[in-house]
Structure 1
Amino acid sequence: MFMTSHSSISAEIENVLAQELGVALSSVRAAVQLLDDGATVPFIARYRKEKTGGLSDSVLRQLRERLTYLRELEDRRATILNLLKERGVLEDSLRIAVESAITKNELEALYTPYKVARRSKAQIALEAGLEPLVDDLLEVPLAGLYDIAEAYVHPAEAGANPDTAVPDSAAALAGARAILLEYALYDHHLMESLRERLWETGVITSRATAAYRTPGPGQPNKFSDYFDFSERIRRIPSHRLLALFRAEKEGVVKVSIDVAEVPPALSRISGEERARAEKLAEEYEHTRHTYEAEVANSLGIPVQVLNTVSDEERVLGWLASTVKSSWRSRILPRLANEIRTRLFERAEAAAIEVFASNLRDVLLAAPAGQRTILGLDPGLRTGVKVAVVGPTGAVLDTAVIYPHAPRNLWTESLATLERLVLEHGVDLISIGNGTASRDTDRLAAELLKNLAAQGVTEVQKVTVSEAGASVYSASALASAELPDLDVSLRGAVSIARRLQDPLAELVKIDPQSIGVGQYQHDLSQTLLARSLDATVEDCVNSVGVLVNQASAALLSHVAGFNKTISQNIVAYREEHGPFTRREELLRVPRLGPKAYEQAAGFVRIPDGAEPLDASAVHPEAYPLARVIVEDAGGLVGGAVPAQALARLRPEDYINSEFGLPTVRDIFAELERPGRDPRPEFRTAEFAPGIESIEDVQPGMILEGTVSNVAAFGAFVDIGVHQDGLVHISQMSTGYVADPHALVKSGEVVTVRVTEVDPARKRISLSLLLEAPEPKKRRRR
């Protein structure tokens, strides 16, 4: 893949991207050019479809990530080639291997043997003139070992480094062994063959450490599934690998990578267990022998030597020991480390993808809309924090009530909530799902009964995730937005607002605090943040932003805007009043033509001076849109009637500037200006009387909200402070490749309880509401 000129490298990278993504080369070239010119992914995906052939935002994200990776790969390749050339070790075979490497891991594996600048034992041995000894040992495997080695014993030559002395035959043989080992490590064809073979057929194993081998009193360990675990390297799922590495990090297990499952010691076992261990030992020795045979063959050592039972008085015994020690002490550990890195990078990429997918589902969850909402942040000793927010999110009232132990002011708390609901015309009650959530839910249920007795029946209660509410409460952003409000009450405001508009509220919180990922602290924080920021940007721009209402936090995610520009927009709005046209944004300090071009189509101004400003039509296409509106007979209520548009042909409006994709987008926008892609709002009803894991029984049919989706299934909040797991095998009667295809975070689902384990705090659920019939045994 390596080329000498920059233009050749760029062309090769574009070819690779086209092949990997399965798109036209012309589309890749156009996208790369637009990205290099500073265009954002949302802008390219929405408004440059003609140039890219309609590449979606998700494909463009992949393209940008891979483009960055491949450019870094080429930079590193050039650096390594220069270093190898400077050290005088760049032989043709090594150069070809470096130029052919297609991943950073492959490059680093090739470079690793040459990385250390200090003199190795093998180099010292070569300087001491021991290379001929290696040749002699390989030629006469049946000769006496020390007789041959004795001929190479000599003191250091005058003026030479004293390290080059060979004081005795043992030192000569140690030097010869170091040379042979380096031959193997520097044989990149051998190492690549062994590495890929280990990846395809090797196993990753974990065993409980000494402190955890004997179960102690108390709760079972959450990593007990990995106390005696083994799986093929290439088959281990990403989530399981991350769990293994987390268990190892916490000192619970020891993880190893080997050619096959390592048998336990035979001294402490008997019976069937011993028979199984003996079989494992036989299989393990046979498999390891095949790897050692490959090492021997690469060194020119007859493979039959490995089967010889001999001490090291003869050369063949020494050669066999050299091969075995080389494999076991140096080659396997190096390959295992490289495979661990490869496994982790694969698992990391998968975990980040799942995290981003869950975040997208949460951000694009159905908004309750502009309603008055009572937010409840549950608590016991510190009380339940209460906030009422109006349709625009403004705080109308706050309170703290103490319905639960130790104060138990239930009646007084009900009276306070009833007053707030009636006084402010509350439509929805938003209850955080943290500590005391179910107790607070009972309080809200009794409140609704009291209201219904008075003829107020429209109010509903909803349980929402309170993840990140405390983070927001203590943030500088919350201090700026709610300066006169106590920190403890800001969480209740956030809980209320996130029911109104999850996207507008959750963008104020670090995505990692929203609670939709797994093992996030084990992942590269740079890669994770980049992926999540991109996800937030895509979500914000897919929905659009009301520029006269949006917070600076929300505006900062609009394509083309940054934190400074967003703050300037809010400041300008407060000083000069609402924007009446999109083009007025150009008056905002630091918001230049480039930023305006990228952002204009994603900001909305309903009821402004220009009707098209309420839509996703970009200002650059206004002239064309006005022609279409005129031909359709004008706007009715801010939109063009569908039947009027149906009489027009999009193909008739194609010109040199705008192709069919853009024209069709304009038609869609004129019919439904500023349409919201998010689903309709719906609430989940938790079953009464099911308040803790002890109340949950197999066979129950319950309603809940999907809180998280993983590669192996989905977690569902059924209202007992412990999410249940719908394993991927319980999601459908057919094969499920991706759980995200069936459920999304925030979605309301009905589930059947299949198993409950209170000791381990595990609830198993199924989307299959009827238990499948047991399979009949076939008669013989």
Structure 2
Amino acid sequence: MVSTIERRLAKELDVPVQRIAAAIVLLDEGATVPFIARYRKEITGGLDDSQLRNLQERLIYLRELEQRRQIVIDSINAQNRMTPELLAAIHQAGDKSSLEDIYLPYRPKRRTKARLAVEAGLLELADNLISNPELDAEAEAVKYIRPPFTTDEGDNPGVADVRAALDGARQILVERFSEEAGLLGMLREFMHEHGVIVSSVIEGKEHEGLRFSDYFDYEESVSTIASHRVLALLRGRREEILTVRIRLDSEPDRPRWDDPFNPCESRIASYFAIANRHRESDKWLMDTVRWSWRTRIMPHLETELMADLRETAEAEAINVFAKNLKALLLAAPAGPKVTMGLDPGIRTGVKVAVVDKTGKVLDTATVYPHPPRNDWQGAIETLFGLVGKYGIELIAVGNGTASRETDRLAKELIALCKDRKIDKIVVSEAGASVYSASEYASRELPDMDVTLRGAVSIARRLQDPLAELVKIEPKSIGVGQYQHDVAQSKLGRSLDATVEDCVNAVGVDVNTASVPLLTRVSGLTEGIAGNIVHYRDRNGRFASRADLRLIPRLGEKTFEQAAGFLRITGGDNPLDASAVHPESYPLVEKILDDLGVGIETVIGNRELLKKIKPEKYVSEQFGLPTITDILKELEKPGRDPRPEFVSAHFKEGVEGISDLKSGMILEGVVTNVTAFGAFVDIGVHQDGLVHISELSEKYVSDPHQIVKSGQIVRVRVLDVDIKRQRIALSMVLDKGKGSDNAVLKAVGRKDKPVGKRQVTHESAGNAMAEAFAKLHGKL
């Protein structure tokens, strides 16, 4: 039987309900998203990893909603207050907010003022006044005066006088108005459409909170405010620099009590048929409406709306982080080459590490070419000796302090090695220091000084960014936006999922992979990954995937989940080096038997593979999607989905921010993409900002549509502020002619057209200044 959750997910994802139900079964059985996306396409109808992640998140939410729904039903039943209409409304509630609105009048409460008034007999007075405004409120109130008394729940102050009677009746109506589910839903929707978020600086905090100066006197529509501005406002409030609140767009900043009703107050009055027709109790009832709005409903909706804004902003910030992380992890690897890593430093020297083609450390050193020692020649001699000794093919220069000076050192070194082909590349060193001091680094490089481990990491991340970056906590890689302002558990889940998807998309060589890399493989835990490495160290290389069954704690279920993502090159079976799952080997053997050839003849033979009719091999076990995937894999077995390696070329003579001039066309690497633009390393120790309005001549709603982290781009210098260390860049290289050559293709460095310049409501200068404020104010 199809459940309500499955039907809802099917509608949301626009996928047949049977496919959703099947995917849920697989997830509940412990199958991972990469495994389901790759090897169970027939069952899910080809849902990709992104769709499956969304399904997984929504499944958690909807199951929590159903659990809460049952709790609400049980609570109301226990009070003997359930009705068929109420039960229907509970079942129809589509989200947690709607469900809580319905439950609000039935939620067990402490003894509120309204509760005390009901105990004192004032419910009748409240009902009489709202149902018959012709009554004189004060005259009616006299009838309900009574002395203090005691109930089973405790002492009650009674009703001392007319004022106390009317105050008690008002409290009853205020609670009634603020707990009416239909009304709350209507007011919530109106507030979302017509709310304005307003901020101002707390008196005396102007200097301390200078980095929040953009928000000292600020307002923007709730429905249009960008996520990064929401997080900036919330941080300013948390640091007690700003006051942040929400008001209606039609209301003055500080409304008075005798102002005309605002649209929400009018809706409350209309909902309960309250109007000022100059009857005896009309004014009292109108004041009660205003009291309800200002003291209960508006504060409740403001709190709720701020929470929704934060949740939405956090989700977008986490999504930005995940996109940037994915781009970084799937950056092109330089490949298995002997590499020298240079971790630049001035006073403490340049740390040097040489690693072989597999990343094994061959040698380390420290040279001091920069002030105060200025031992340039000594540094050259040391590095030259390492090149000759180990046959270095690549030099990786970290992009930190003294990067360009060290890059110049590497260039001079290469010029001396005329008989060798050596390339040098400046690479991001984000997270290298975190890795150096990590527990894993201390196990991997136990006898090495912490400062030298960073150079090892820099060298290895050039060889294979994915394999090295998985050793670092994703939050420490430095490609996030407001990462410390979002829910860390949600951020962690998202980043872990991103790393898992990337690792499994590429595949892992089981004979060379580290424990951190193996841990990210579908189905493997850190313990099993450790067992694999331990077995490999003790027994040598794995000859086949079947050997994995010998690993302690690696059972059949784990083997099923992991085997297809683990590669064994040069092993007994060529299929073990491909993404073909062992469960499909019998199918491949049948195809080979029909062809009358061996596997070596088929692999890579495009013409032969074209002759195979996939439909011929469809069976109950293997559907057309699986067979098609197998044939594609046989054509290019173990194909790496990452792009071909290419590096940026920084302009000679441009090494510091003072060397920049407006109008310069430079090449650089995108280091971070945010909601308001992209930061680009152009080799001057300070990333420049390409604001979203300068990414293209066409409208851009999301910078990720144009650029991604690690991408090589050409930019034009717009403005340089040396004092504040700000560089404004544009990817519109020639105004009026578009930016067709702004983004370089990875292969051949050919031009690639991009979109149109975004039209914004603010000038590019103001927009750029705001974006820089986000960066430099650490917002």
Normalising by structure 1, report the TM-score.
0.89
Q: Which moved more, 1:579-588 or 1:704-713?
A: 704-713
Cα contact 1:205–1:261 (8 A) shared by 2: no
Cα contact 2:101–2:179 (8 A) shared by 1: no
Residues 207-286 of structure 1: pairs in structure 2 closer than 5 A: 207-213=200-206, 221-260=210-249, 263=252
User: What is the distance in 2 between the residues matched to 1:94 and 1:763?
Assistant: 60
- Out of 55, 71, 75, the position equivalent to 1:79 is 71
Give a deviation string over 1:636-677, Cα, whole Å, max 9, x none.
Answer: 588241122122222222233212211111111112111111
Partner of 2:741: none
Residues 289-688 of structure 1: pairs in structure 2 closer than 5 A: 289-303=262-276, 315-449=281-415, 451=416, 454-456=417-419, 458-630=421-593, 631=595, 633-636=597-600, 639-688=603-652
Partner of 2:709: 745
- Cα 1:635–1:710, aligned 2, differ >3 Å: closer, same or farther? same
Give a deviation string over 1:555-610, Cα, whole Å, max 9, x none.
Answer: 11111111111000001111111110100100000001111111111111111111
Q: Does 1:41 align with 2:33?
A: yes
* AA of the residue aligned to 1:580: A
Give a deviation string over 1:336-386, Cα, whole Å, max 9, x none.
Answer: 011111111112222222211111111110000001111111222222211
User: What is the distance in 2 between the residues matched to 1:302 and 1:655?
Assistant: 72
Number of matched pairs:
736
Partner of 1:270: none
Between the aligned residues of both structures, percent identity stands at 53
User: What is the distance in 1 between the residues matched to 2:609 and 2:428?
Assistant: 42
Cα contact 2:715–2:731 (8 A) shared by 1: yes
Structure 2: tracts of 5 or more residues without a match: 739-756, 758-779
Give 1:45 deviation, angstroms: 1.1
Give a deviation string over 1:607-655, Cα, whole Å, max 9, x none.
Answer: 1111111111111111221233451743458824112212222222223
* AA of the residue aligned to 2:730: S
User: What is the distance in 1 between the residues matched to 2:331 and 2:228?
Assistant: 25
- CA RMSD between the two structures: 2.5
Q: Does 1:695 align with 2:659?
A: yes
Give 1:471 deviation, angstroms: 1.2
SS, match of residue 222 in structure 1: helix
Give a deviation string over 1:230-258, Cα, whole Å, max 9, x none.
Answer: 11111112222122212222222211111
- Cα 1:230–1:593, aligned 2, differ >3 Å: closer, same or farther? same
User: What is the distance in 1 between the residues matched to 2:108 and 2:725?
Assistant: 50
Give 1:691 deviation, angstroms: 3.3
Give a deviation string over 1:708-749, Cα, whole Å, max 9, x none.
Answer: 122332221222333222233322322334332322211111
- Cα 1:444–1:373, aligned 2, differ >3 Å: closer, same or farther? same
* AA of the residue aligned to 1:697: K
User: What is the distance in 2 between the residues matched to 1:304 and 1:719?
Assistant: 74
User: What is the distance in 2 between the residues matched to 1:658 and 1:239?
Assistant: 47
Normalising by structure 2, report the TM-score.
0.89
- Cα 1:571–1:304, aligned 2, differ >3 Å: closer, same or farther? farther
Q: Does 1:193 align with 2:193?
A: no
- Cα 1:484–1:302, aligned 2, differ >3 Å: closer, same or farther? same
Cα contact 1:632–1:645 (8 A) shared by 2: no
* AA of the residue aligned to 2:178: L
- Cα 1:735–1:158, aligned 2, differ >3 Å: closer, same or farther? closer
- Cα 1:262–1:706, aligned 2, differ >3 Å: closer, same or farther? farther
Structure 1: tracts of 5 or more residues without a match: 1-6, 266-280, 309-313, 776-780
Q: Does 1:729 align with 2:693?
A: yes
Partner of 2:168: 175
* AA of the residue aligned to 2:478: G
- Cα 1:706–1:113, aligned 2, differ >3 Å: closer, same or farther? farther
Partner of 2:92: 100
- Cα 1:285–1:351, aligned 2, differ >3 Å: closer, same or farther? farther
User: What is the distance in 2 between the residues matched to 1:683 and 1:222?
Assistant: 35
User: What is the distance in 1 between the residues matched to 2:130 and 2:111?
Assistant: 25
Give a deviation string over 1:38-96, Cα, whole Å, max 9, x none.
Answer: 21111111111111111111111111111111111101111122223334554555544
SS, match of residue 398 in structure 1: strand
Give a deviation string over 1:250-279, Cα, whole Å, max 9, x none.
Answer: 2222111111276568xxxxxxxxxxxxxx
* AA of the residue aligned to 1:602: F
User: What is the distance in 2 between the residues matched to 1:401 and 1:114?
Assistant: 73
- Cα 1:28–1:144, aligned 2, differ >3 Å: closer, same or farther? closer
* AA of the residue aligned to 1:26: Q
User: What is the distance in 1 between the residues matched to 2:661 and 2:553?
Assistant: 60
Partner of 2:16: 24
* AA of the residue aligned to 2:736: P
User: What is the distance in 2 between the residues matched to 1:416 and 1:698?
Assistant: 39
- Cα 1:637–1:703, aligned 2, differ >3 Å: closer, same or farther? farther
User: What is the distance in 2 between the residues matched to 1:423 and 1:459?
Assistant: 14
SS, match of residue 570 in structure 2: coil
Cα contact 2:665–2:716 (8 A) shared by 1: yes
User: What is the distance in 2 between the residues matched to 1:76 and 1:159?
Assistant: 33
- Cα 1:319–1:702, aligned 2, differ >3 Å: closer, same or farther? same
Give a deviation string over 1:743-767, Cα, whole Å, max 9, x none.
Answer: 2211111111223344554433222
Q: Which moved more, 1:638-647 or 1:191-200?
A: 638-647
Partner of 1:129: 121
Partner of 1:64: 56
SS, match of residue 303 in structure 2: helix
Partner of 2:731: 767
SS, match of residue 51 in structure 1: helix
- Cα 1:258–1:110, aligned 2, differ >3 Å: closer, same or farther? farther
- Cα 1:456–1:170, aligned 2, differ >3 Å: closer, same or farther? farther
* AA of the residue aligned to 2:210: N
* AA of the residue aligned to 2:29: D
User: What is the distance in 2 between the residues matched to 1:237 and 1:129?
Assistant: 50
Q: Does 1:155 align with 2:134?
A: no
Cα contact 2:275–2:282 (8 A) shared by 1: no
* AA of the residue aligned to 1:187: E
- Cα 1:760–1:629, aligned 2, differ >3 Å: closer, same or farther? farther
- Cα 1:332–1:574, aligned 2, differ >3 Å: closer, same or farther? same
Q: Which moved more, 1:578-587 or 1:314-323?
A: 314-323
- Cα 1:124–1:501, aligned 2, differ >3 Å: closer, same or farther? same
- Cα 1:597–1:136, aligned 2, differ >3 Å: closer, same or farther? closer
* AA of the residue aligned to 1:129: G
Q: Which moved more, 1:152-161 or 1:493-502?
A: 152-161
Cα contact 1:297–1:303 (8 A) shared by 2: no
Report runs of 4+ in structure 1 exceeding 6 Å deviation. Answer: none
